[in-house]
Structure 1
């Protein structure tokens, strides 16, 4: 099934779907270098405060690697047309968690003093994933168990 826009134009819808998926994949893959390499800003600015907040101070690396692997999975899924919708939902979950932890958790909106670039990118990526879900909304029943679709 192909993405749809309310005013038709299936080729435009496919192109917009690829652009949105490309943004999400680029966003995740770009930041993996900092998470996977244990960059000081990633460790001290985000994941160690998070681990301390969760009362798991010795598990910063495990949390950081888990987030990195989930983001790699979401980026890979969103780039693959048959799994794009699932990848978009996964992206919304990951970015929703990031937004929550920035606003109500220990990280803060602007942990690096750079004008909240990380927070703004998380918000934008969440919106792009939401748009991608909307664009592929006709595929949602295929993700549900058959007994829920018949009801």
Structure 2
């Protein structure tokens, strides 16, 4: 009987490039997910502190008095759920998709609003981290692209999801 380690060694000896690519395909998405989650969790407490400068600038720009607290809370909840999804094996693609959408929205708001790319005058660290998270989420989606359609099919055929849609329409 051949152990898993022996099988990996045998495969690596036969075709090292294929083995390296396979291992990278397995480990790289988890490393990228860890970085995305680290950044999102680092900034998560600030989504629940009162009176955020960033969200206040956005509220003034949008002109809606409720925007600052509720959009900040919503963003924090979405980012927290994203961190969880990134580490559930069958849902990492969903987490990457939500991270991609969230970071895309953040980048758009920085570029389209008075925030700009350097709202804290620190060299644009927050904006660079959002761009990095966007690229890493896209990389996870590309690496795991074969998982996207099956996940959508499972979701579309799940009777609980259909009942949820009927209840909310």
Q: TM-score range by the shorter chain?
A: 0.7 to 0.9
Query: Which residue of 105, 110, 115 corresponds with 2:113?
Result: 105
Q: Secondary structure at the match of 1:79?
A: coil
2: CA distance between counterparts of 1:98 and 1:55? 18
Give the Å deviation of 1:7.
Answer: 4.9
- Corresponding residue for 2:43? 31
Corresponding pairs, count: 138
TM-score w.r.t. length of structure 1: 0.84
- Corresponding residue for 2:24? 12
Structure 1 unaligned spans of 5+: 1-5
Task: Name the larger-Rg structure.
Answer: 2
Which fold has the larger relative contact order, with Cα–Cα distance below 8 Å and residues 6 or more apart in sequence? 1
- Corresponding residue for 1:68? 76
Moved more, 48-57 or 120-129: 48-57
Query: What whole-Å deviation, never above 9, does each CA across 1:102-125 have from its counterpart, x for those lacking one?
Result: 111231110000000000000010
Contact 1:53/1:106, CA 8 A, preserved across alignment: yes
- Corresponding residue for 1:78? 86
- Corresponding residue for 1:57? 65
Contact 1:48/1:57, CA 8 A, preserved across alignment: no
TM-score w.r.t. length of structure 2: 0.75
Contact 1:51/1:63, CA 8 A, preserved across alignment: no
Q: Secondary structure at the match of 1:144?
A: helix
2: CA distance between counterparts of 1:105 and 1:82? 36
Answer yes or no: is 1:90 the counterpart of 2:98.
yes
